[in-house]
Amino acid sequence: MPDRYLSRLRLSAFRNYQAAALDLDSRHLVLTGPNGAGKTNLLEAVSLLSPGRGLRRAAFETLGNQASDQPWAVAATVETPDGPVDIGTGAAADGGRRVRINGANARAIEDMSAYLRLLWLTPSMDGLFTGPASDRRRFFDRLVTTLVPSHSSAVADYEKAMRQRNRLLEERADPLWLTALEAEMASHAAALHFARMDALAHLTALIAEAADDAFPAAAMALTPLFDGGAEAQSSSALEDELRRQWAAGRDMDRAAGRTIAGPHRVDLEVAYAQKQMPAALGSTGEQKALLVGLILAHARLVKRQTGITPLLLLDEIAAHLDPDRRAALFDTLEALDTQCLMTGTDPVLFAALGARAQLITVRAGRLEKP
């Protein structure tokens, strides 16, 4: 039985749900129904019980039910080893969102992570290995955030400062302003870079020591931060080097209309370890299996590093998995000892779960027991 799980979920004016309520036990939850019924919307609601903008990365002001004048809200009860914890999030007046824990306003969004960690896979990730570097970078930053909740804020702060720098370059602002802004950028950049490198080292080591025979093992590396040079080994040294490069490259960046160098240019390189083959060259099924194996490995890492087993949100997970791989996935989820929320159009694809899952049918924003 998982040491923590969702026992209660309530949605109000969220996407196509006017209102929805689920009372759960520690088993997995399988949501089935036709396309457009609201299965992914429910997973998205749960994903907002973590730092960041959820599995669709949607602007918070777009999450409300179009037929309602009420603000959207998501509330859950998390059963933990120390007892139940109520977590809620919803629309804020400034267009952002607010978080409440046990009825009190949270000091920071990251406070939710003390009780609940979340990982997810969605169909939009199926092209991760063949798509742009920005998708892989965002995917990896999400993994890092599950380990280090403040990482998402470091990424957001860095990107905000970088946009300000680009604007100042275009306006040919006072160099002293640029120097101050580049120092701020460098501080955020060093924090996010070393968080990435630390997470990658631990994840790579875990995969090497405990490869899952049911799914391909991923061999991963981050591309160098700088072209043709050794990277700094401390935060202060990295900040110094970034400030130097950005100051020297202002004219080039102004001409390009963007900041050319920095952690926002890094790519995550992934290979199918057993075949020593770039992930992008694998079949659709191999890429899906590689991605599933990577998420499962990271879930084990989060459990080892934080003591909190993450809940998994797996949208349309069975689409490209053959029966043997589906059965292996379900068995691996049991071994991980976590609660998993899964969606699919056909209940037959989840038959191997048997009594290990609670089944709910979704129809036009309504939740029904079969």
Radius of gyration of the chain (CA): 22
Rounded CA-CA distance 317/308 in Å is 23
Mean pLDDT of the chain: 94
Every domain of the chain with CATH number 1.20.1050.90 lies at 127-306
| The predicted structure's pLDDT at residue 211 | 62
- Is pLDDT at 268 greater than 80 in this prediction? yes
pLDDT in tens, 232-242: 889 999 999 99
Superfamily of domain 127-306: RecF/RecN/SMC, N-terminal domain (1.20.1050.90)
Rounded CA-CA distance 352/331 in Å is 9
Q: What is the DSSP letter of 63?
A: -
With contact defined as beta carbons under 8 Å apart, do 361 and 370 qualify? yes
Mean pLDDT of 203-215: 83
Token pair, residue 16, equals 């196509």
pLDDT in tens, 288-344: 999 999 999 999 999 999 999 999 999 999 877 888 889 999 999 999 999 999 999
CB atoms within 10 A of CB 7: 16
CA dihedral sign of residues 61, 64, 66, 69: negative
Q: Say which CATH architecture domain 1-117+308-370 belongs to.
A: 3-Layer(aba) Sandwich (3.40)
Mean pLDDT of 213-240: 88
Higher-pLDDT residue of 356 and 321 is 356
Every domain of the chain with CATH number 3.40.50.300 lies at 1-117+308-370
Mean pLDDT of 35-43: 96
Residues in the chain: 370
Alpha-carbon 181 to chain mean position: 28
The end-to-end CA distance of the chain, in Å, is 24
Where residue 38 falls (left for φ over 0; alpha for ψ -120 to 50; beta otherwise) is: left
| The predicted structure's pLDDT at residue 231 | 78
